[in-house]
Amino acid sequence: MSVYRYPNTRKYWAENSFELIRQAMTRNRFQEIRRYLHFNDNANLLARDHPQFETIFKVRPTVEHFNKCFQSVPMSQRLCVDEQMCSTKVVSHLRQYMLAKPHKWVMKLFVLCDSYGYSYGFELYSGASDNVIPNEAPDLGAAANVVSRLSQIIHTHQNHIIYFYNFYTTLPLLVYLHSRGIFSLGTIRVNCIPNCKLSTDKEVNKKNQRIFRRICRFMLRCRFINHSVEGK
């Protein structure tokens, strides 16, 4: 359906659609299966006011199944945690509107992948309340806890290196990963580092301008020397 797009699912059984689909099952049979298809037992669904209520309860077995399959592949040394936007037309509270993205309506995933783009584990973002702390792990904040949860499948003291950008980077997170024998590298935001002594953007720009002027003067001087030698 993501390759051949129709206004609605009924069009896939229209006269000019695919014969293989019509031969596989009838339209009414497909809609009946779609109506009653479930991946979890609703009898175990907790009330919304329950402290352990999970918004993605109905698809939790599917997420766990895929993660188990992904983790069966040997893990690379260099890893990365980042967001992945999955475009969708499904009407759900999990769907978000991202104005700056190519696909505006998406479901956001937090993914642990390697340098080739292979995913070893992912989480489906379900709101600000989705801040579960891993067992025996400190509370590092909503963003850093994402890295902490996804890194639980990484073998400790195996020289793995995990990269992430400034949305996740905090000093407590780096300390926690180091305590598990996992190296980490991330960009930072100055306002997220307490007592930060790094140069400001204004100071860095001034320093770069001074270096650029010195390089220009050096190049002009070398050019003048070359002309002088050629003249002789």
Mean pLDDT, rounded, of the chain = 83
Query: Other C-beta atoms within 10 Å of 132: how many?
Result: 12
pLDDT confidence of residue 111: 94
Does the model's pTM come out above 0.85? no
For helices 171-179 and 142-150, give the axis angle rounded to 10 degrees.
20
Q: For the chain, what are the domain ranges?
A: 1-37, 53-192, 204-232
Summarize pLDDT for 22-51 with one digit per residue, the tens: 888 899 999 999 888 888 888 888 888 887
pLDDT confidence of residue 227: 52
Summarize pLDDT for 4-18 with one digit per residue, the tens: 778 888 888 888 777
Compute the chain's Rg from CA coordinates.
26
pLDDT confidence of residue 182: 94
